[in-house]
Amino acid sequence: MYRAIIVITMKISITKTELHAMPYIAWNSFKNFLLYGDMEFNSAQKTASLCLKYFFGMLDKGHADMFACGEINSDELTRALVTIDAHEFAENLPMNEADRSREDYEKSDKWYYENAQTLLDAIDKYRLNNLGEFYEIVDENYTIRPPKAIAWLGIFESVFFFALMIIFAVGNPEDIFLICLSFSAIASLGLLLVAYIRIWKVSVNADVLSVRLPFKREQAVRIDGISDIKMKREGIIIYAHGQRLVSIDRYFDGYSMLWAQLWLAEKVSEEVKTDFVIKQHKANIITGFLCPVFGIGAFVWTFTRGYNPANIYEKIFFTAVLIVTSYLPVHYLIWKVMVSKDGIAVRKAIREEKEYQFSDITKVKLDDQNMIVYAGDKKAVKIPLACEGCQELIQRLRLHDIPFFKNGKEV
């Protein structure tokens, strides 16, 4: 009596967007599946797996160690290398076991390391020519949400001002109603922010966008129903059937996936792809938020110790401290430089947005930490070199033949 044995091979589950518009995801999935998978491989998968294990194994070991520990069968590896059209690598493998010598291994190792990139290219070409053997297309299914950090910011704001309310109410019982009313109103703004973050959601299932926004009925639209995409300074605005559907910022979770899907569906024009935004470095933003914490903390500590400024100059001083320490986080959050194909637009905390064409920019001064862009004789904007996107802006400015100076000399 015979019993049938059924061997089930698996493939990499991947979306069409990830496969065709996000090649780094497709490659990493392919590599991890074949290197670390413990399932039964089909013929193409086994071939690619042998070649990948050979490629990455050689980064840590030479041919001698690989064949000595029996990780790879040399005959199987030879057939696999010939299959992916890497004949030179098959010929470079050390001879049969009886003929292998130290000089033979060293010669093969040296040639391999000089040509390793060619092998990786051959593996990738084999993958692209046999996509159906490795990948199984599944529906797009992901959610776009604002970052959780914004919700935590709202919680922090509510707790902080609620604590201030208690401190001021204990110290000024005669004004407890006014104090509670004022601080509760401010603290409630943080709770509203948390509620907004919890409600706001864009879900993608296959080619359908489901949009849920506060104070609006949930809407659903197909990708092919999107009529226009407009670039805003920090993200995109999507229009469907001639009406505005939703505005999505770059820093939202899942934004890059949607952007790639829209690009693959040819909903994103080449003109839109050229724009990017430079924001303050995260270290500056954190420092900006620490300033009001320490400044207001010192202010509260002073008054809880029983001090009450009677002099008008003292009141001005404490007011100035509050204004300055509160300004920094606002400045760092609002400050940004928007780069387009024609020029830059600069947004600052207490100034209106200004736009400069590349033809308006006369020079750029560099130091060890910043670049200063000039329009005419006036400073247009000072950008920390640590900001993401700063190097891309430098390249774009150089394409427009704008002179750069460092320590008084043109560079």
> What is residue 298's predicted lDDT score, i.e. its pLDDT?
60
Choose between 127 and 177: higher pLDDT. 127
pTM above threshold 0.75: no
In the chain, where are the structural domains located? 12-137, 144-270, 282-410
Q: Copy the structure tokens of residue 228.
A: 């226009």
Interacting residues of 362 by C-beta distance below 8 A, sequence separation 6+ = 374, 375, 376, 377, 402
Choose between 158 and 245: higher pLDDT. 245
Please say if the pLDDT value at position 5 is more than 80.
no
Choose between 93 and 234: higher pLDDT. 93
Q: Do 372 and 379 contact (CB within 8 A), yes or no?
A: yes
Q: Across residues 159-164, what is the average pLDDT?
A: 78
| Fold of the domain built from segment(s) 282-410 | PH-domain like (2.30.29)
Q: Copy the structure tokens of residue 1.
A: 């009596």
The model's confidence at residue 152, banded by pLDDT at 50, 70 and 90, is confident
Q: Across residues 286-303, what is the average pLDDT?
A: 60
Average pLDDT of the chain? Answer: 79
Please say if the pLDDT value at position 339 is more than 70.
yes
222: Cα within 13 Å, side-chain hemisphere: 2
For residue 345, which of 335, 389, 272 has the smallest C-alpha distance?
A: 335
> What is residue 121's predicted lDDT score, i.e. its pLDDT?
92
For the stretch 97-130, pLDDT in tens is 555 667 777 888 888 888 889 999 999 999 999 9
CA 14 to chain centre: 20
